[in-house]
Amino acid sequence: MSEPYWAALGGGSVDYKGAWAAGTAYAPGDVVRHNGVDFIAVNPSTGVDPGVATGVAVGFGIALPTSPVDGQEYILVDSLTAPTYSWRFRYVAAKATNKWVFIGGSMLAGEFTGQGQMPGSYGDIAGGPSVVIPVAGVYVIGIGCRVTIWTPSERWMSFALGAATALDADGIVWESTGSPGAAGQDGGTLARRGMQRTLAAGTLATKYRGSGTVYASNRWIEAVPVAVGG
């Protein structure tokens, strides 16, 4: 059995050598940081990835590693002190694209309970909601709202990334040709989940359109990654 080269550092007062570099020769006792984890050298080495050598390949940060290795795992967050999501990925070198495969974590979620009138063509309603896609990849999207209808009409909810145009194919629709109820209102709840889409990084916002007088409330959007990284 070969001797280990690195061990994960558990704490204590040490002198750091800075970020690990593949071309640097390290001696026993040298301490480096690699993918958000501190390691101490237990044998001389050059070019031996600390995470791979020790089996500790789980880093933590706001950006995915730029030089990953097959099997490496990493936890991506949007903030080191107050994250709104945390996603754990595993790097699969054999994949052609989106090599960081999602293996667990929370979803992105946006919600707004206030009511707003739908525009005649796809557009925004004050309060959104929206979510920020942090890295390009494949995501599963869900959207939903409650509609209140004052005149017979067709009403849609969809989504779009950045300045792109929302599509009916990504949307949900409530169609009514009859007259509203005695109180002058009709409506119900729209929801759709499980839409798998390839997205660039950016703001993913809900979009609406409806003919006649139509309002939307209790609006929400959610997104969870499948695989990311281009």
Please tell me the CATH code under which domain 1-56 is placed: 2.10.10
Confidence of residue 213 (pLDDT cuts 50, 70, 90): confident
Q: Does domain 108-228 have CATH number 3.40.50.720?
A: no
- Please report the pLDDT score of residue 178 as a whole number: 54
More confident of the two residues 78 and 40: 78
- Token pair of 218 as six digits: 């209790």
Cα gap 14→208, rounded to integer Å: 57
More reliable by pLDDT, 195 or 19: 195
**Alpha-carbon span 123 to 205, nearest angstrom:** 10
Query: pTM above the 0.85 mark?
Result: no
Which runs of E-coded beta strand occur in 5-152? 6-8, 16-19, 25-26, 31-34, 37-41, 45-46, 58-61, 73-77, 86-91, 100-105, 108-112, 116-117, 130-133, 137-149
pLDDT at 184: 52
Q: How many CB atoms lie within 10 A of CB 97?
A: 12
pLDDT digits (tens, 9 = 90+) for 159-207: 999 999 999 999 999 876 555 554 556 678 889 999 999 999 999 999 9
Confidence of residue 1 (pLDDT cuts 50, 70, 90): very low
Tell me the C-alpha distance between 226 and 139, whole Å: 5
* pLDDT in the model for residue 55: 57
The confidence score (pLDDT) of residue 149 equals: 77
Residue boundaries of the structural domains of the chain: 1-56, 57-106, 108-228
For residue 214, the model assigns a pLDDT of: 85
pLDDT, tens digit, 9 for 90 and up, residues 129-159: 999 999 999 999 999 999 887 766 778 999 9
Q: Which of 106, 71, 65 is nearest to 88 (CA)?
A: 106
- Per the CB < 8 A criterion, the answer to whether 210 and 155 are in contact is yes
